[in-house]
Amino acid sequence: MILVTGASGMVGSHLLDVFSEAELYRTDLHAADQIHALDCRNRDQVMEVIGRVRPHVVLHMGAETDVDRCERDIDHAFRSNALATLNIALACQRFDVTLVYVSTAGVFDGKKPEPYTEFDLPNPVNVYATSKLEGEKFVQSFVPKHYIVRAGWMFGGKGKDKKFVGKIASMCLESGAEIKAVDDKFGCPTYAVDLLAAVKTLIQSDFYGIYHLVNSGSCSRYDVAVEISRFLGKTGRVVPVCSANFPLSAPRPRSEASRPYKFELLGLGRMRTWREALVDYLTAWQAAAAIPASAVAVTASALPPGNGAELWKGDAVAAGGLDKGVFWNPGERRDELEAVKVTPIAPAAAAVV
């Protein structure tokens, strides 16, 4: 039995695929379909649930990952990321449970020119990374059988992907906007499926300790945006910009680039490149949405006010009218599109950091 916290999130959406043969007890802050409620900040609740379920492994992914909110609300950050992890660690200690704690590659100050390894000393520059690092310390102090997994710039989950890759992919399909992406911050895009697959390997290894589980290679946000736009046939331009143009609450290190050095040294496997993983994810994302690579917009010539002018392809248009946000596959159901004409998508400016 594997008990998982934070199972409703982006990474959690891939659990059933990767751990298809395992018995999972999935939890999150709020109950959902086959997901049980568990507030990791509540020590009594954590003790009761882990004591009752008696898993052999806890995969602790529950966290506050909004970096800027952590900077604005320090108490919330440390309750959610440090003290919640302390509660999980103490429960694992009491019931002799192996703990896998998902941390972040952002625990470094970013000054190293090469990718960070597990043998480099952390020196976080923001509250979020500091709170995650304190969680690492609690795990190391109280749980002998532990794996601390530092993840990179995560993507995955298709509809649950609200991070950089998901935003850029959506922008590529939704407009002809010029996309501005930062080119002076570096990291390792990491597919949630690959992260979980590597965690699965670790659990079976008994090689406890700290691991960097990221897809191989490093890049800037701009590099990622270019790859996404190329794959999706983006007609607009992706423009490199300096991060100073987008002031944020929390400082970011210049580099969060890391490498799965220890994972490789121990012969546990190799993480594929971030480009290979990105193509796989975008292929699945596109297939799930049933959207061709090139986007076409249609504009209504005579619609009642409030119906909206711009429609996207994907779903058949309902007979007798057009609804805002409906998708259209060119060549299908043309008889229902006599009132519309194909028009270019109006270009607009958009920026993603």
User: What CATH number has the domain bearing residue 133?
Assistant: 3.40.50.720
Lowest mean pLDDT among 29-33, 64-68, 207-211, 230-234: 230-234
Provide the pLDDT confidence category of residue 302 given band limits of 50, 70 and 90.
very low
How high is the pLDDT of residue 166?
Answer: 80
Quick check: is 98 in a domain? yes
CB 136 within 8 A of CB 199: no
Q: Which of 103, 193, 112, 109 is nearest to 157 (CA)?
A: 193
User: Does residue 80 share a domain with residue 17?
Assistant: yes
Higher-confidence residue: 97 or 32? 97
Question: What is the Cα–Cα distance from 229 to 235, expressed in whole angstroms?
Answer: 8
User: Does residue 207 share a domain with residue 104?
Assistant: yes
Q: Is the pLDDT of residue 31 over 80?
A: yes
User: Does residue 144 share a domain with residue 30?
Assistant: yes
Once rounded to an integer, what is the mean pLDDT over residues 231-242? 83
User: Does residue 7 share a domain with residue 132?
Assistant: yes
Residue-range definition of the domain harbouring residue 143? 2-158+188-217+252-272
How high is the pLDDT of residue 157?
Answer: 85
The tally of domains found in the chain comes to: 2
CA 48 to chain centre: 30
User: Does residue 317 share a domain with residue 263?
Assistant: no
User: Does residue 117 share a domain with residue 60?
Assistant: yes
Provide the pLDDT confidence category of residue 289 given band limits of 50, 70 and 90.
low
User: Does residue 103 share a domain with residue 49?
Assistant: yes
Q: Is the pLDDT of residue 244 over 80?
A: yes
Neighbours of 286 (CB within 10 A): 17
How high is the pLDDT of residue 290?
Answer: 57
CA 220 to chain centre: 16
User: Does residue 87 share a domain with residue 36?
Assistant: yes
Q: Is the pLDDT of residue 330 over 50?
A: no
CB 164 within 8 A of CB 155: yes
Quick check: is 284 in a domain? no
Quick check: is 241 in a domain? no
Q: Which residues pair with 35 in a beta bridge?
A: 32
Once rounded to an integer, what is the mean pLDDT over residues 288-310? 39
CA 78 to chain centre: 21
Provide the pLDDT confidence category of residue 159 given band limits of 50, 70 and 90.
low
Quick check: is 176 in a domain? no
User: Does residue 331 share a domain with residue 262?
Assistant: no
Helix ranges (H only) for 154-249 are 164-174, 192-203, 221-232
User: Does residue 146 share a domain with residue 64?
Assistant: yes
Quick check: is 234 in a domain? no
User: Does residue 306 share a domain with residue 263?
Assistant: no
DSSP for 13-54, written as a single string: GGHHHHTTTS-EEEEESS-BTTBEE--TT-HHHHHHHHHHH-
Quick check: is 171 in a domain? no
Quick check: is 174 in a domain? no
Q: Is the pLDDT of residue 294 over 60?
A: no
E-strand ranges in 107-152 read: 146-151
Q: At what angle do helices 127-142 and 84-95 cross, to 10 degrees?
A: 10
- Cα angle 102, 257, 198 (rounded to 5 degrees) comes to 40
Helix ranges (H only) for the chain are 15-18, 43-53, 67-72, 74-77, 84-95, 127-142, 164-174, 192-203, 221-232, 261-265, 274-289
User: Does residue 338 share a domain with residue 208?
Assistant: no
Say which residues have a Cβ less than 8 Å from residue 335's Cβ, sequence separation at least 6. none
